[in-house]
Amino acid sequence: MTMDDVVGVLRRAGEHTMPPEPFDLDAVVRGGETRRRRSRMARAGAVVVVAAVGLGAAIAWQDRSTGTDTAVADPGSAEELLALLAGPLGPDDHLPAELSDPGLVESTARAVAATPEARFWAVVDIDGEVCFVVQVPAEEPTTALSCAPPAYFADNGLPLSASGPGGGVRAWLLPDGDVLDADLLADWTVVNPNLAIQPVG
């Protein structure tokens, strides 16, 4: 069943039933978009799975989703959307040792940038999704991971936040050629064409 099929069923339900609470179709659609992403947070070697709905609330500050089923479109592969993934492997491209995830193709990992706040990588998983890794340095570093299908990444980029004892960062991985809206530029620091950040704390 596609997202359009789900929306159709929900619309008919809203027209012919009396739900106990107000029926908010837009919220349901937004929730479906949020659940298409997954995120994990690793601290001191332990991996914690973050609930998708909670993640959506936490990073709503940058979701540019239109509420449509962007998975229908075929924007290309992760490497086509993010050319650095197809570049040669360098000494800074290796993922943090504490981030051991069998779902990641670690040979595809590429460093996006390093700032005083954090280090950033892009990597592809075994499903061909674009994944974003952020590590905040500390005695016990905090490493966050988020992945999304290429179609979602093409439309929205990939947002992620991570924090440690001394502060943290909100980060936004952008596909090649994407440009932040003018109203966002005042709040974000563009590190390079594929990365914008907001220091936290």
What DSSP letter does each residue of 151-175 carry, written as one string? HHHHHH-EEEEEEETTEEEEEEE--
Domain spans, the chain: 38-200
pLDDT value at 49 more than 80? no
Spatial separation of the C-alpha atoms in residues 139 and 136, rounded to whole Å? 10
pLDDT value at 107 more than 90? yes
Backbone φ, ψ for residue 160 (5° rounding): -160, 145
| Strand-by-strand arrangement of the 38-43 sheet | 46-50, 38-43, 142-148, 130-136, 119-125, 104-114
57-73 average pLDDT score: 44
138-152 average pLDDT score: 92
Please give the residue that has the higher pLDDT: either 16 or 122.
122
Q: Is residue 66 very low, low, confident or very high in pLDDT (cuts 50, 70, 90)?
A: very low
pTM: 0.68
Distance of CA 49 to the CA centre of its chain: 14
Name 190's Cβ contacts closer than 8 Å, sequence gap at least 6. 180, 196
Backbone φ, ψ for residue 102 (5° rounding): -65, -15
Given the structure tokens 């994407």, which residue do they identify?
A: 178
Backbone φ, ψ for residue 58 (5° rounding): -70, -30
Amino acid 94: pLDDT: 92
Most confident of 54-58, 155-159, 178-182: 155-159
pLDDT value at 58 more than 60? no
Helix (H) or strand (E) holding 58: helix 52-58
Q: Please report the sign of the dihedral spanned by the C-alpha atoms of residue 189, residue 191, residue 197, residue 201.
A: negative
pLDDT digits (tens, 9 = 90+) for 167-199: 899 999 999 998 878 777 788 999 999 999 998
